[in-house]
Amino acid sequence: MSKFKIEKTDEEWKEQLSDEQYWVLRNKGTERPHSGKYNLHFENGTYVCAGCHQPLFESNSKFDAHCGWPSFDDSIKGTVEYVIDKSHGMMRTEIICSNCGGHLGHVFNDGPTQTGTRFCVNSLSIDFKKDEQ
């Protein structure tokens, strides 16, 4: 039985995603800091998983952490799972989409808002859906 609602083969993911998105979402890659289109993006709407389009973050939870990646202080309940990441000689908490298992980034306990958390997300792992007026 599958852990995620959406399961695809590597070939199916490669057909759907750009090479860069595949590298981040399926191989746990990280885009260069300050290179992502959503780093300094502050429109009203919802950020969704680039792999399966599940809503992940509301725009009112986004802030500029000056770290070079989109940062959020909270996720939409139930949409993000947490995985211990011991890669690169560090102990971090990876965040993945609960619907398809796509790698989003990492979460840290150094956020400046009331939640105290900073979800550090790759722009390549998300898309944006603007609020309808």
Identify each DSSP E strand in the chain by its residue range: 45-49, 55-58, 62-63, 71-72, 80-85, 92-97, 103-108, 118-121, 126-130
Strand partners, 84: 93
Question: Is 49 a residue of the active site?
Answer: no
Show the tokens assigned to 1. Answer: 């039985």
Say if CB 30 and CB 20 are below 8 A apart: no
- How many other C-beta atoms can be found within 10 angstroms of the C-beta atom of residue 41? 15
From the list 49, 52, 97, 120, the catalytic residue is 120
Residues marked active site are found at: 120
